[in-house]
């Protein structure tokens, strides 16, 4: 769990710094920085999506994973958590709601390939290199997000702990099913979801991103049969 704790601490620290300096940043500047971060997210998503080697696996994974996500209505559940936080903590910087900040930050920190592959490496072999790299990136991203999206980003640190911690703990159980092909396809699907998240951050779409997340894990099963 060391990797999960380090990443959580990085997000929390970055968010606190962002909250402290956020009030000094004009809204126009904050919005511009936010869109810049969205473009970076889009670039990361596109570069990762192009690494996929079996398009049929990506297609089936997205369809099956989305059906699972819709059936569980993950997006609604995460929105409820965000809304609960919004009601509990009334203070906000006036730029965006706590719910929106929590949801966007959670998706950014948790849907990327590094969150999944890095947590698997930490759980299987004790290799923390990727998670430490991700923690550095997340620290910067959390600072930027908190300065523009407010308190919701701080609560996203809990999402990182629960999500990556769970993957790390269960890594040993799925280790026999992982190989380079599986991790590559998981990376590709996760990157596709990041592209959708970037579009949401840019205000182009309003995708229910949380409902796509189960798709990231479908290649573990598909690669055994395709």
The pLDDT value given to residue 71: 93
Q: Which ranges constitute the DSSP H helices of the chain?
A: 2-22, 27-49, 55-72, 74-88, 98-110, 113-125, 129-149, 152-174, 180-201, 219-222
d(CA 78, CA 121): 27
Determine the average pLDDT of the residues in 138-149: 84
Secondary structure (3-state) at 164: helix
- Give the HSE-up count for residue 103: Cα atoms under 13 Å, Cβ half-sphere: 27
Kindly tell me the burial class for residue 224, based on how many C-beta atoms sit within 10 Å of its own C-beta (0-12, 13-18, 19 or more): exposed
Q: Which domain covers residue 6, as residue numbers?
A: 2-222
Q: Please tell me the least confidently modeled range out of 56-65, 110-119, 194-203.
A: 110-119
For residue range 15-43, list pLDDT tens digits in order: 999 888 877 777 777 778 778 878 888 88
The pLDDT value given to residue 93: 47
For residue range 86-124, list pLDDT tens digits in order: 677 665 444 557 777 888 888 888 876 678 777 877 887
C-alpha pair distances (Å), 192 with each of 113, 123, 200: 10, 25, 13
d(CA 209, CA 207): 5
CA-based max dimension of the chain: 55
Q: What is the number of structural domains in the chain?
A: 1
Is it the case that residue 150 has pLDDT exceeding 50?
yes
The pLDDT value given to residue 161: 92
Instruction: Tell me which residue has tokens 């182009």.
Output: 204
The pLDDT value given to residue 218: 92
Contact 196, 209 (CB under 8 A): yes
DSSP-derived letter for residue 94 is S
Is it the case that residue 129 has pLDDT exceeding 60?
yes
Quote the pTM value.
0.75
């Amino acid at each position: 769990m060391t990797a999960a704790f380090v990443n959580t601490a990085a997000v929390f620290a970055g968010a606190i710094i962002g909250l402290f300096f956020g009030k000094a940043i004009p809204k126009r500047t904050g919005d511009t920085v936010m869109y810049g971060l969205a473009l970076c997210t889009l670039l990361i998503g596109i570069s990762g999506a192009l690494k996929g080697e079996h398009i049929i696996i990506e297609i089936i994974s997205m369809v099956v994973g989305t059906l699972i996500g819709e059936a569980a209505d993950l997006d609604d559940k995460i929105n409820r958590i965000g809304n609960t936080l919004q009601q509990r903590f009334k203070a906000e910087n006036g730029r965006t709601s706590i719910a929106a900040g929590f949801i966007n930050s959670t998706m950014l920190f948790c849907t990327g390939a590094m969150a999944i592959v890095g947590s698997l490496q930490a759980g299987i072999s004790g290799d923390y290199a990727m998670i430490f790299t991700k923690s550095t990136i997340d620290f910067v991203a959390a600072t930027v997000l908190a300065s523009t999206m407010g308190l919701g980003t701080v609560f996203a640190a809990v999402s990182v702990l629960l999500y990556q911690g769970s993957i790390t703990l269960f890594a040993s159980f799925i280790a026999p099913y992982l190989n380079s092909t599986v991790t590559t396809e998981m990376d590709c699907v996760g990157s596709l979801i990041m592209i959708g998240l970037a579009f949401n951050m840019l205000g182009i779409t309003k995708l229910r991103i949380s409902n796509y997340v189960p798709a990231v894990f479908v290649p573990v099963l598909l690669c055994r049969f395709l």
